Each structure stands twice: as C-alpha cells, then as structure tokens.
Amino acid sequence: MIDIKLIRENPQKYKDGAKAKKFQIDMDRLLEVDSRLLVCRKKLQDLATEKNRIGKDIPRLAPDQKKEALTALSKLKDEEAGLNEEVKNLQPELDTLMGQVPQPPAPEVPFGEDDTQNVELRTWGTIRQFDFEPKDHVELGQNLGIIDIERGVKLAGTRNYFLKGDGALLHWAALRFAMDHMIAKGYTPMSVPLLMRDEVMMGTGYFPGSEEQTYQMERDALNLAGTAEVPVTAYHSGEILSESQLPIKSVALSTCFRREAGAAGKDTRGLYRIHQFDKVEQVIIGENDEQKSIAYHREILTNSEEVLQALNLPYRVVNVCTGDLGRGQVQKFDIETWMPSRKSYGETHSASRFYEFQARRMNLRYKTSTGKNEFCHTLNNTVIASPRVLIPILELYQNADGSVTVPPVLRPYMFGKERIEPKS
C-alpha cells in the first residue's frame, strides 16, 4: 500500500505508474473520498472541542441559558452522528481504492506492454548442441519410468502428475541442494503453514488481484498459498522490530498451489504450468533504505544464479517491463533457463523488490536508533522451483541411449547415483 500523503502530494505520479503497469484505478475518486474524509474528521474534532466547552459551562449557567446550551449540545451530537455515519460509509471505499493503487515502477524499469518486451540483461552458460535427436522431458520421463502424467490427471485432473523413483529423488535433490546453498549463506530455514487468512493475502499484495489464481476454502475462510513468500513475509506482520534485528534473511521450502485460471490451452504439455509444485523461496526484510534494498535485490538474484551455475544450466536474466510487473513490485528480474523442448528460455525465477509496499499493508515496522518507527522494506526471489527445473535438467543432461546424467552437485542427494537408466 502507498502512503496516502505521497498520493496527495503527487497524484499524477501514481496515475502514470498505474497506467504503465496496466492497472485500472480511479485516482480522482480516491482523492475525492480522501478529501471528504479529511473534512469530516476536522469537523468531528471541532465538534468534540465545542461539546467539551459547552459541557464545562453548563453547571455554571442560569436555567434559561442552560436550556439553550443543552439544545445546542443536542444539535452538535446530531451533527456528530451524521458525520460519523458518513465516515463509516466512506472509509471502506477509501480502503478499497487504496488497496488497488500500484507501486510506481523504478526509473530503470523498461516500459513495455507484456513479457515479450522484457529486456535481456545478460546470459550465462553454453546452450547444448545435440548430435542426436533429443527427447522432451515428458518422453524422457515416461521412458525412464520417473514421470506419470496420465495417472496424475486420472486422480486429480489436468495439470497434475506423479514423480516416481529416481524422478522423485531428483526433484527432492534439487530442492535440498538449494536449501543447503541458502543455509550456508546464513539464511534462516523455515517450515511454513500453507493455509493463509485473507488478511495475510491482502497484506502481501496478492489480494486484491490474484483471487482467481488462488485455491480458496470459503468454508474455512482460508487460502492455499501460491508461494512461501506469503507466510515468510507476513511472519512479523503487525510487529515493531528493532533496527538491530534487520536485515532478516529467511529461506523456506514449501508446496505451492496455483489454479492457473486463464491458462487454458497454454503450456499444457508436461511440467511447465501445473497446479501443485515445490519451491525454495528466499525473503529479506530490511531497513527503509532504497539503496540497501537495491543491494539486497542484487544479492537474492546472485543467490539464484549461483544455484543454476552449480547445476550448469544455461540461463538469461531479464529486466521485467512495466506491463509485466505486479501491483506491489517496484522492480523485478526474471531468470529464464534454457529448455530444449521449448527451443527457448523458460521462466524459472522471479526476484522482486517492494520497498515498503507490503510492509505498510501488513503494518510491519521497526524502531530506528533514534526511536522513530519506520516501515520495513521487503524482497523475495525463487531459489529453485521443481518440477519445472526438472525440464532443463532432464532435457539438457539426456544421453543418446535415453538415459539422463545426474548433475554432479545433486549426486550426494541421490545416494551417489550418476545416471538415471531406462528400466529393463
């Protein structure tokens, strides 16, 4: 959420930011409601002052004067009731409008309509050239007996799957390697709840806007989180931390759930766009300092690049354009890993910087050394998400005989296994 004072000072900045991000927000109505609320609250303060004055005078007044004072007091109370009713009606509208205002993108974010206009910053690794006809991960997985999509669909519907045997081991190996990498860097590991209240989804900026992508359990007023970003970022919501506690660097491994509403017919083959997956997520809660946040952003991006480099998976980093940014993100870098079956890079990581957008919505603050309460800054990024990462691993490490070489860094997590061989 944006500080209303900033919107009052420069409404055009937020109108332009919303337009660049392709969010619809009636800023004029927001300012109108805010202005009326300010007037109402000022009048209520004045009425309270006048009521107190009359109340103190009444005991000293003559009977006829006392009657006039009581009549005036009654009129003030009626006026007060009317103003309180107006505030009661207007405040929810302002809250709703404020929840819709997107954070303006940073100046270094490229202007664009959608992900096709994201700007490539750099690439890493060499794209493998095959001397045989390579298979995609679905065919490889079926032949090796490690992926079963057919039975996943039979039991749970489209975009579901089973990982079996070495497929399950490879999946867990990638996740455990990523966790170990982050723990070695000093990030605190967390195991998190997956069911979140609406206020947590609103606090982290997923509501309003992502309701259609969220599995919602109306009966229990709970939601299945689409990422560990939600519980980890909201862990200290409503608290005032001490400056000495910051930055808080956390990493969590969780199962994630996404409805993929609106994705009918898109990426339907294989493990790219699915309803349930596991992800290692890194979150930083830091000081209210833009330069420090920018440095943390580089840090979490580097952490993920190190994981891909250790797996020797070629990738590129893109600066996400305005039209592809979420409501709260001031800037986002995506990492896209090369996937031979797609003949292109596919998104595997998203590193986001929010400044105080999420913290303000969650009332997450810290006390500075001077005793002032400030809103924290928040950031997050994928460390690894599986089984999507299995697409480049299986396809890039495949051999002509149909086997798959296990990346060296994952072998300790697979009991030393060097190859996944077809079952005889």
For the entire predicted model, the pTM comes to: 0.92
Q: In what order do the strands lie in the sheet with 365-367?
A: 240-242, 365-367, 373-375
- What's the pLDDT score for residue 424? 64
> How many Cα atoms are found within 13 Å in the side-chain-facing hemisphere of 83?
19
Looking at residue 68, what is its pLDDT? 86
Contact between 129 and 118 under an 8 Å Cβ cutoff? The reply is no
Cα 159 to Cα 155, 156, 166, 424, distances in angstroms:
11, 8, 21, 29
How big is the chain by its Cα radius of gyration, in Å?
Answer: 27
User: What are the catalytic residues?
Assistant: 258, 273, 347, 350, 388
Q: What is the pLDDT of residue 96?
A: 94
Using 70 as the pLDDT threshold, list the residues of the chain that sit under it.
264-265, 424
Sign of CA dihedral 171, 173, 175, 178: negative
Nearest by Cα to 391 from 58, 94, 139, 123: 139
pLDDT at 60: 86
Rounded Cα–Cα distance for residues 245 and 229 (Å):
19
